Every structure is written in structure tokens, then in C-alpha cells.
């Protein structure tokens, strides 16, 4: 299979192919995780919180894609966090790497077949909301799937009822109870001063947004913008997983034509380095409540 095919229905995977990957992982680890965490750019150190770790490089896992982006280590880590068995992706997959929508979301269905019930997604995002500051953590309450508007939805094609229904509901994509737990945990851990709640919008990338595009996204009601997460959430909800999403605001988008500010990936990684310990503490204590 060519991972980089641009056709909507090419490189689709069968139930048996997902199961082959899941069965290989189950045979090579004793961990049976109920929680999966997908780490965004620069946030892979969340996996270092796990105890009793078993680490699989993506390249060693049958049919698993590989990550090519700086800040994405490319490892699947099994272990325990606060006594709960988890699996953590140190690095995700993106459209802009040349992967199609089915490859980008491949791990999520594997997680479902492993027995995962809750998916936590994190990402680095640009702040569209004028009230946001670099270093804020935005709790995702909803999403705008712009690639989906253009037909790039991971559920296009024939439906396999073993994963989920033909027409899944997305109005409750981000679990309300989990969001309430995050707010409670943030207050307990002293993180509530930089915790926000808002709407995440996905663009395909790899270019950062133009000023006109940023103004359009603000008009649509987006509070943060990034290049990931949404396809994984769509597949997770199709599989019936509970989803919690958090965006680390790593830069404020440029909306002034006279501005000399320029978005860059080094800025993103620097911002995650400055805030990652707070995010780790938040996730670690949250796990005890799930």
C-alpha cells in the first residue's frame, strides 16, 4: 500500500489489517490499556510519565506508519500511569507528510481493537482567540473539520459495522464529563489560570495560515488552529471512544498586515518546552479520575 496516495478511497485498510497490528501488539506486551494518549509536537515527554514501559518504534510495528516531523519521536509506548494501563503515541501522522486520511488515522482503530475506551489527544496550536496567550492550554470543546468540508473524511467509503455506525454523531465529539474533570484537576494543580476552553480548527498544512485565512477562521468561530487531531477524533468517535482534547497555544496568529511577526516551527517547540511540565502534571493527575 502506498501511504502517500492522494485518492480518497485508495490505501483503505481492512478490518483484518487493523487486527493484524493489534494482535501483534497484544502478543508482544502484557499491558492491556484502556486509555490512549496521542502526543502533539514537542509533547512526547508525556510518555516519560509511564512506569513499567514497553517501547515499540513505529518502524517495527506491522503496517504502522512512521512519523517524519521534528518533535515527533515515532514510538508507541505501553505502561502504567498512576496505576492505570495506558498506551502513548510519541508522535502522530499528518496530511502534510504525504499520508492519506486512512493512514493518518490508522492507530486509532488499532487502539479500539486493543480495548482502549478513552482517547486523549494533544496538539500544538496557534491562538486565534485574541484573549489567548502563548503557553495557555485550551481544552477543546468542539472542532471545525475544514478538510472534511472538501471530502477528506476518514469515514468516506464503505462502512464496517464492526467499528461503528454509518452516520456517527459529532455534536458530542469531546466528552463533557472529561472536560469537567480537567477543569477540576486544573484548579487543584494550580493550572486554572492558563486553562482555556474553545474550538479547534484543522487545516491540512504544512504552510502556516495567511492573515486573510486567520480572519476567516475567527469569523467561523475558531479559537485555535492546527494541522492534526480532527481526523483521529472522527475515527475515535466512530469507534465509540470517549475523547478528551487539549491544545497548547504555542504562538498567536498574525492578523495585522503591518506586523513583522512570522510563525515558525522552532517557536512552537520552544513554547511546548516551556509549558510541557504543567501539561504533564495535568494529564497525570487527570488519569486518576478517569
- Strands 118-127 and 35-39: what pairing? parallel
Our answer to whether residue 124 is catalytic in this structure is yes
Our answer to whether residue 259 is catalytic in this structure is no
Our answer to whether residue 227 is catalytic in this structure is yes
Annotated catalytic residue, options 47, 89, 227, 246: 227
The string of DSSP codes covering 179-234 is HHHHHHHHHHTT-GGGEEEEEEEE---SSPPPHHHHHHHHHHT-SEEESSSHHHHH
Our answer to whether residue 170 is catalytic in this structure is no
Our answer to whether residue 247 is catalytic in this structure is no
Annotated catalytic residue, options 41, 67, 100, 247: 41
Our answer to whether residue 228 is catalytic in this structure is yes
Annotated catalytic residue, options 170, 213, 263, 265: 265
Can you tell me the distance from the alpha carbon of 37 to that of 181, in angstroms, rounded to the nearest whole number? 16
Residue 66 to residues 8, 36, 103, 178, 200: CA-CA distances in angstroms? 20, 18, 10, 30, 25
Our answer to whether residue 73 is catalytic in this structure is no
Annotated catalytic residue, options 11, 18, 97, 209: 97
Annotated catalytic residue, options 72, 102, 238, 285: 72
Annotated catalytic residue, options 94, 102, 238, 285: 94
Our answer to whether residue 97 is catalytic in this structure is yes
Annotated catalytic residue, options 36, 47, 89, 124: 124
Identify whether the C-beta of residue 53 lies closer than 8 Å to the C-beta of residue 134. no
Residue 239's H or E segment, with its range, is none
Q: What share of the chain is helix, strand, coil (3-state, %, to 5)?
A: 35, 25, 40
Annotated catalytic residue, options 67, 123, 228, 247: 228
What residues are labeled active site? 41, 72, 94, 96-97, 124, 227-228, 251, 265
Amino acid at each position: 500500500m502506498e501511504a502517500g496516495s492522494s485518492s480518497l478511497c485508495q490505501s483503505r485498510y481492512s478490518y483484518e489489517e487493523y487486527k493484524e497490528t493489534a494482535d501483534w501488539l497484544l502478543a508482544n506486551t502484557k499491558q492491556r490499556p484502556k486509555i490512549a494518549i496521542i502526543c502533539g509536537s514537542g509533547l512526547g515527554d508525556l510518555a516519560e510519565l509511564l512506569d513499567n514501559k514497553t517501547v515499540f518504534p513505529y518502524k517495527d510495528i506491522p503496517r504502522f506508519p512512521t512519523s517524519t516531523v521534528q518533535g515527533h519521536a515515532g514510538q508507541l509506548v505501553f505502561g502504567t500511569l498512576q496505576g492505570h494501563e495506558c498506551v502513548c503515541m510519541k508522535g502522530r501522522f499528518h496530511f502534510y507528510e504525504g499520508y492519506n486520511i486512512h493512514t493518518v488515522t490508522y492507530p486509532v482503530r488499532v487502539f479500539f481493537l486493543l480495548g482502549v475506551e478513552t482517547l486523549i489527544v494533544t496538539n500544538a496550536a496557534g491562538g486565534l482567540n485574541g484573549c489567548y496567550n502563548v503557553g495557555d492550554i485550551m481544552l477543546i470543546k468542539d472542532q471545525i473539520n475544514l478538510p472534511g468540508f472538501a471530502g477528506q473524511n476518514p469515514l468516506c467509503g464503505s462502512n464496517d459495522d464492526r467499528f461503528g455506525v454509518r452516520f456517527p454523531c459529532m455534536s458530542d465529539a469531546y466528552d463533557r464529563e472529561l472536560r469537567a474533570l480537567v477543569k477540576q484537576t486544573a484548579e487543584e494543580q494550580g493550572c486554572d489560570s492558563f486553562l482555556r476552553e474553545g474550538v479547534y480548527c484543522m487545516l491540512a498544512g504544512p504552510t502556516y495560515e495567511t492573515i486573510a485565512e486567520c480572519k476567516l477562521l475567527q469569523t467561523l468561530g475558531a479559537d485555535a488552529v492546527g494541522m492534526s487531531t480532527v481526523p483521529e477524533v472522527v475515527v475515535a468517535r466512530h469507534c465509540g471512544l470517549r475523547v478528551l482534547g487539549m491544545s497548547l497555544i504555542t504562538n498567536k496568529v498574525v492578523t495585522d498586515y503591518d506586523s513583522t511577526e512570522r510563525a515558525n516551527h522552532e517557536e512552537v517547540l520552544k513554547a511546548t518546552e516551556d509549558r510541557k511540565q504543567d501539561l504533564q502534571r495535568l494529564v497525570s493527575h487527570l488519569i486518576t479520575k478517569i
